[in-house]
Chains A and B, each alone.
Chain A
């Protein structure tokens, strides 16, 4: 009750400092607007960096191998893959590329006239065993069986050929909202494909948009060709992936000496590289957030200590009239709370407006209300922290000050 009765005189006192109060409210409101949106952006980046691609990332390694035309090579791609599979610790190997690594993107159509693309999808293609090497989770239908795969050497096949393909659940729902994607035929730029299975997730890239998860996988049988490009291995033990990958690279080199291995990396390394720049930006924004909080705290505490100094006589008088130290302390704490509350209310409005602008301009998502709540709590705490020093100094003013002329 005591606390509530104090509010009236505090408001009256604040009215005589309108300009300073307005400035403080404005500063807190601006801080809240910028802070809320910044935290939202940084949190979004961090969240995105944890989204799974849907493959067995911790077990996959990639060898980019360049063929040198003109040099006679004894090796074949089938032989290369067999050599990779024989490396201890390798469970699967395939020709093809992993997510986040130059995945081809094509429009997808529902009919062969190809007039109206339904969506853009990522196309994963590679040799037999690609889906098992990636470690895809098939939730409906079946994985590729070797007898249904087209053979690469005879791929200039009839126009009616339909590639058996796996598509993601998200793409299936987009193409056939009623369900029953299995067995349907869809079309990309060049070929027709028949859906044999549906996988839970397979993201070509991680941008945060829903169509990241629109993917299609197809396999073909490689044999006597000598192809350069990506060779993927899947290791049984994630902890030994780097060693296994190096052993696999050595085995590939031995099987096909004419190949030149350009790059060697594990999926976790690829992921770290993919998000490096985003996370660096996030760290910079985080630094701005911290500096912003410090500046606002400094401003609040500077004005508060000015007010305390200015009112030393009044404080002394109140003490002389029987107010306790606690009363004085609480007075400044409540005053700060009222000002910050004003700032937070205005700030919520500013934050929302800034968010609308950013959504329009930068494809940012809608700012959820709980960010505003969290921002308000943070600013209330910050305000109380900033005012504590000056308020304690005010509480320490002895009653005798009232009798002195300043």
Chain B
């Protein structure tokens, strides 16, 4: 009941001083708008790319580098890619439920029947488990098998958007497509599939955001045709690019699927044993290994662009300034009403009642700031969508951010209201009534 009364009092007070109220709401709304805009982008970029599976996906790392020439200057970070020999040894051990090695490659595509111009597209070279492990959905056909990997089959899975472009969306399974001047038979067409960020392309030279990769080829088959990975690093004297499979070079990403904690710890010890075995064989100098979960891996590798983090940090600084601003203005308002408070106290209102009254007032300012801030955030996101960044078109406010806006608004305004409300409730009634 008292709440209704406080609400009435608060609204009266806010109405009485329209300019000050507008200033408070506006300042808070600007701060909230900036915060929600940058947070939406941050959330988009650091989101879970594959929520149903991310807990089961792991990224193993080994260190084949010579002792005097560590991979990182500090010697603490492990190489983020794997050599062909190690990737194949780990895959053929079949110690995980699923396992796939992959590389990215910029490939030249010729439209079928020679119509139209050739163009470049992003290709993925992978082993067979790639599709089931990452839950890539098929519109037509299917992926290839481990047998296809071994027989270096000249087959390809294409993205839905490429199928739309080249075949008008029709079932193209069985048709041929020319990639880097070699003919490949289409065996599958994916539905729209583009994990954001593209975790598997990290360090492989692919794009992290956007509509997804265009073609998927069996690793060995594509390599037999001379397709080159976009990223490779040598740990020997030089890279023999003609024999990458046996070169002292890392150029593959390996992902494994481990269904539960027991499987993870089994795999971890398998990986450790493998590294020690390689040390005893003289291939490795160091036996340290790592096995990171997908989300952990993305965090440690700073997938989110630095400038986005910077903007989010600045937006919080900005919100802080707006909150300080609101504290000042609320304080001004409440000090001005010392007499009114004195009267209410003299008539029997408790300190708690005064405190509650002022907090309700702050909360109303916060809610109004939240609503207006939401408008500003929509405007800000509209601006982001017109930016040239890879992720621009994905920037939309979702339900959770919508609700979060009000949480931020309420929290900010209540924090801002604490000091003024406390100052109001300690006002002594008598002096305010005496004079003037």
A→B interface (CB under 8 Å)? 19-20, 23-24, 26-27, 30-31, 33-34, 37-38, 41, 66, 68-70, 114-115, 189-190, 260-262, 276-277, 280-281, 284-285, 287-288, 291-292, 294-296, 298-299, 302-303, 305-307, 309-310, 313, 354, 358, 362-363, 405-406
Are A306 and B332 CB-contacts (below 8 A) given A27-B325, A68-B110, A292-B321?
A: yes
A307 CA / B335 CA spacing, docked (Å): 10
Assess whether A280 is in contact with B387, with CB atoms less than 8 Å apart: yes
Q: Which of B303-327 contact A (CB under 8 A)?
A: 306-307, 309-311, 314-315, 317-318, 320-322, 324-325, 327
Within 8 Å by CB of B119, from A30, A262, A296, A358, lies A262
Assess whether B118 is in contact with A66, with CB atoms less than 8 Å apart: yes
Assess whether A310 is in contact with B335, with CB atoms less than 8 Å apart: yes
B25-33, B139-147, B397-405 - interface stretch = B25-33
A260 CA / B383 CA spacing, docked (Å): 37
Assess whether B118 is in contact with A262, with CB atoms less than 8 Å apart: yes
Within 8 Å by CB of B336, from A262, A309, A363, lies A309
Contacts of A38 on B, CB cut-off 8 Å? 314
Contacts of A309 on B, CB cut-off 8 Å? 336
Within 8 Å by CB of B329, from A19, A26, A303, lies A303
Within 8 Å by CB of A20, from B120, B315, B332, lies B332
B→A interface (CB under 8 Å)? 19-20, 23-24, 26-27, 30-31, 34, 69, 108, 110, 117-120, 181, 234, 237-239, 306-307, 309-311, 314-315, 317-318, 320-322, 324-325, 327-329, 331-333, 335-336, 383-384, 387-389, 419, 423, 436
Assess whether B336 is in contact with A288, with CB atoms less than 8 Å apart: no
Assess whether A288 is in contact with B423, with CB atoms less than 8 Å apart: no
Interface of B, helix, strand, loop or mixed by DSSP: helix
Contacts of A33 on B, CB cut-off 8 Å? 317
What are 6 A-B pairs at a CB distance below 8 A? A26-B324, A68-B110, A292-B321, A299-B23, A362-B309, A363-B306
* B316 to chain A: closest residue by CB: A34
Assess whether B238 is in contact with A299, with CB atoms less than 8 Å apart: no
Chain A nearest CB: distance from B191 CB in Å? 28
Contacts of A114 on B, CB cut-off 8 Å? 237-238
A41 CA / B30 CA spacing, docked (Å): 21
Assess whether A19 is in contact with B331, with CB atoms less than 8 Å apart: yes
Assess whether A30 is in contact with B336, with CB atoms less than 8 Å apart: no
* B120 to chain A: closest residue by CB: A262
Are A20 and B331 CB-contacts (below 8 A) given A70-B181, A277-B388, A281-B307?
A: yes
A114 CA / B237 CA spacing, docked (Å): 7
Within 8 Å by CB of A277, from B26, B306, B389, lies B389
* A358 to chain B: closest residue by CB: B310
A302 CA / B28 CA spacing, docked (Å): 14
